[in-house]
Structure 1
Amino acid sequence: MKKDIPSYPLLIEATYDALKQLGGSGKNDEINQKAIEILKLTNNILDIMHIDTNLSEVYYRLAWARTCLKNYSAIANSARSVWSICPDYTTIDKVNGEDVYSYHRKKEMISAKEEIGGLSESDINNVDTLVPDVNLPEEVKGWKQHLYKILLEMNPYAFERLTQRLLRECGFSEVKVTKKSGDGGIDGIGKLKINGIFTFNIAFQCKRYRGNVNVSEIRDFRGSLTTDIEKALFITTGTFTQQAIEDACKSGKQQIDLMDGEEFINKLAELQLGVTEIKDYQINEEFFSKI
């Protein structure tokens, strides 16, 4: 099945096309869904997991495609994780994925040379083997992978307390864990007040998964919800199958909001829960050589 996953150049073109169709800007999930729609990818393809991350292979490559387009100066991302087409490209309808891919690979070679010294031209296709972190998309580098590993290895009750704390920091109140981890159904309840006026009863379930949460688990969770529950949230360190995503927001059924591992980690960083931002400076040597 892995051979049926679109190539990097094709995903780069689909990502750019997706942003164009979204009006020039969009968040990760919007861009991913639009690119999937453009390429008409099947659920079987979308559910293949990337071996070293908590993302599906397609989502991993789409994250990489965004990084490539950013390095190519075709798109940029804000501090709020919104991607947008750069001003110089607003009148350009399409990009050549092969050109963007080739440009990025050359930058990888330069980075590899800085890491390990001399690098022959024959090594261009093995850069990611020589310096593994070089070939990771911006969105899944270093600290995120380390944090993901920590979350998977946490004591299950500690993970429940972390989820409880995160929900409180997000504005939830009266957050309670209702039963032991791994039992299925509702793991906890809480209340959420919107704009200081409207209060909703919330039920949540949290799963520490390395892989996919499938549609049956979404349906089991929905089946456990009582009539007094107005909103439901399913949290996982892994990801959701495409069928699970579609079922969670299916019309005519109780809607279930989803938070995957990427969103969970981003929220921890945003709230600085166990994560501290370290600022640094990048030196533009060309600036100093040409001034």
Structure 2
Amino acid sequence: MADTRFANYINPVIEATNALGGSARPQEVYKHIAGTLNLPDQVLNEEKKSGGSKFENQVAWARFYLAKAGIIDSSRHGVWSLTDKGRKITKLNDKEIQELIREVQAQSLPTLRPTQPSPTVIVRKRTTEPGEEQAEEPPPPEELNYRGQLLDIIMALPPDGFERLCQRLLRESGFQEVTVTGRSGDGGIDGIGILQINPFVSFKALFQSKRYSGSVSSPQVRDFRGAMMGRADKGIIITIGTFTADAKREAVRDGVPPIELVDGEMLLNMFEQLELGLKSRITYDIDPVFFSDFK
């Protein structure tokens, strides 16, 4: 069993994840806790006998117990997020922490592993005779409708909720230190993040989230670029709607920093690819040929 000093980091993990917008990558949580608790270098640099940071290991164990208690959810892409239960918790008292630990230990789980969410891809299986081509069949209406329903759910979010959703999406896509600013009069900049390409290369990106179903125009793209000039290497505009042809040309115009455009269709594709906010449903088609052999 892990060093029980991890219990000291249970509340800090909750507080850090909440302060970072309800979701965060592990390194962001470590950094936030170290800064908030003013941990000395001696603690941060201490290593386990087997190697690796003892501090980060204890925080990871705290996250593990919180995940098993249903307070933290760890996506397969390495993002820790507060569950509905977790968002209702400000701080656990000592008795609640000890009870949480006892309940999780009673499950006799020996290893520390990230929890795996259900896959989101809808799989349809159909058997065919050898050499027979399988015809493309349209999915049933309920499978076609879920994208529209997902879009409606996103559209119904308040503006700050959509900004936090974009923050989560960027984290799931590999960005680190993603911060939502949401300041008015800042050229429409809603947040900032850093994408680490490899140990030697990273770049800073500013993003803007537009929660409306209309088309984003070229002047809006230019205004956003003007606000980000000298502040970041790249810009990202995420919208539920679409981009005009001029907006798309403006985004890749020569001689200026490029702007990545994510429209509603691409946004839904990303939710599918990242398996975010969707649950799997596997269906099967009956193969009557198989049963004919038994008649």
Larger Rg: 2
Q: What is the TM-score of this pair, normalised by structure 1?
A: 0.49
Higher helix share: 1
